[in-house]
Amino acid sequence: MPRHVSHALRIGRMPMGRPQNGRQKNQGKQQEYSKRIRHLAYLLKIKSLRGGNLVAAAVQLRLIRVKLIKAMTFHLFEQNDSSPQNEEIAPGAVFLHRFALPHEAAILQALSEITASAPFRHMVTPGGHQMSVAMTNCGLLGWISDKSGYRYSPADPQTGKNWPRMPEVFLRLATTAASEAGFAGFAPDACLINRYHPGTKLSLHQDKDERDFSHPIVSVSLGIPAVFLFGGLKRTGKTQRLPVQHGDVIVWGGPARLRFHGIMPLKPAIHPALGSFRVNLTFRKAG
Ligand code: MD3
Ligand code: FE
């Protein structure tokens, strides 16, 4: 193979059929490219490339690429980070990010009044196991569990008194969230209050103790974060994982109403308002 051809193949730039002065032409081009690269390095502030360190330059370029993509998609991050967005996570299930936050103080005040007269307790399952989630209720009906089963009761079995009234702020929160999600006219008569600490979990289950499944369930997450497990209509099969944080509200209705769900074991964390606890409110029309 003639020398000028093998050279052209090796550097892979020179058009075939114009072998004359190939080497010279190439040197000229290489110089031109070097100049352009130095200029780009100058514009992009890639010092290492000006210094000839290609590996460091490649790393720097990657970082620039990441920054560029972030800058170009900033409007997306901005929406996700700060402004609460309503999002249908599955047919019938609507995630209202941080929806409860504006009412945080009133909710926490109401919560402490409820737990003063109906303290959290660990109920026993029909199978005889004590639940790791501590529970209490407010509203006309409260969910209870004991050896004879799960059911709703107007009275707290621990005191014999009716459950505390549902506070106005709870009712307003639940009904506005429901109508935001497309369930106008939701009138909850029960609010189950679950308390978790790190390590606590809630196994996959369906909520079937209510009279009429056409009403949605509204859940409000408070305190340290958790991961919801969201399955299908059968216990087996794929489950979706859904991180939830303080103030998040999710409305579960329509085709989502009878889906299996649970809570992954909580990770240790501290929340400024609730310490090392997570509290979840679920609003239902039970009776
Ligand atoms: C999905 N509580 O009390 S609320 C429960 O965080 C319960 O304390 C959990 O499951 C908690 O029964 C999860 C989220 C939730 C509530 C009801 C649902 C998800 C649901 C009903 C149908 C599908
Ligand atoms: Fe449930």
Confidence (pLDDT) at 12 = 36
Per-residue CA distances from 69 to 66, 118, 269 (Å): 5, 52, 32
Spacing, Cα 219 to ligand 2 middle (Å): 9
CB of 259 shorter than 6 A to ligand 1 = yes
Q: Where in the chain are the domains?
A: 3-75, 84-284
The protein residue with its alpha carbon nearest to ligand 1, atom 4, reads 219
Residue 158 in tokens: 């621990």
Per-residue CA distances from 149 to 126, 144, 152, 202, 234 (Å): 5, 8, 10, 17, 22
CB of 278 shorter than 6 A to ligand 1 = no
Confidence (pLDDT) at 11 = 36
Segments of the chain with pLDDT less than 50: 1-17, 80
Q: Which atom of ligand 1 is nearest to the CA of 226?
A: 6
Residue 111 in tokens: 């919560």
Strands 134-139 and 190-196, sheet pairing: antiparallel
Q: Please state, in angstroms and rounded to a whole number, the distance separating the CA atoms of residues 186 and 51.
A: 68
Ligand nearest to the CA of 221: 1
Q: Identify whether the C-beta of residue 198 lies closer than 8 Å to the C-beta of residue 205.
A: no
Per-residue model confidence as pLDDT tens digits over 75-124: 665 554 555 578 999 999 999 999 999 999 999 999 999 999 999 999 99
Q: Please state, in angstroms and rounded to a whole number, the distance separating the CA atoms of residues 249 and 95.
A: 6
Spacing, Cα 263 to ligand 2 middle (Å): 9
Q: Which of 104, 116, 88, 119 has the alpha carbon at shortest distance from 170?
A: 104
Per-residue CA distances from 52 to 60, 179, 224 (Å): 13, 62, 50
Q: Which atom of ligand 1 is nearest to the CA of 133?
A: 8
Confidence (pLDDT) at 74 = 63
Confidence (pLDDT) at 83 = 53
Q: Identify whether the C-beta of residue 219 lies closer than 8 Å to the C-beta of residue 170.
A: no
Strands 142-146 and 278-284, sheet pairing: unpaired
DSSP per position, 42-70: HHTT-HHHHTT-HHHHHHHHHHHHHHHHH
Domain 84-284, what architecture?
Answer: Sandwich (2.60)
CB of 263 shorter than 6 A to ligand 1 = yes
Confidence (pLDDT) at 14 = 39
Helices 3-11 and 22-43: crossing angle, nearest 10°? 20
CB of 282 shorter than 6 A to ligand 1 = yes
Q: Identify whether the C-beta of residue 263 lies closer than 8 Å to the C-beta of residue 201.
A: yes
Confidence (pLDDT) at 1 = 35
- The reported pTM is 0.74
CB of 257 shorter than 6 A to ligand 1 = yes
Positive or negative, the CA dihedral 260, 265, 268, 274 is positive
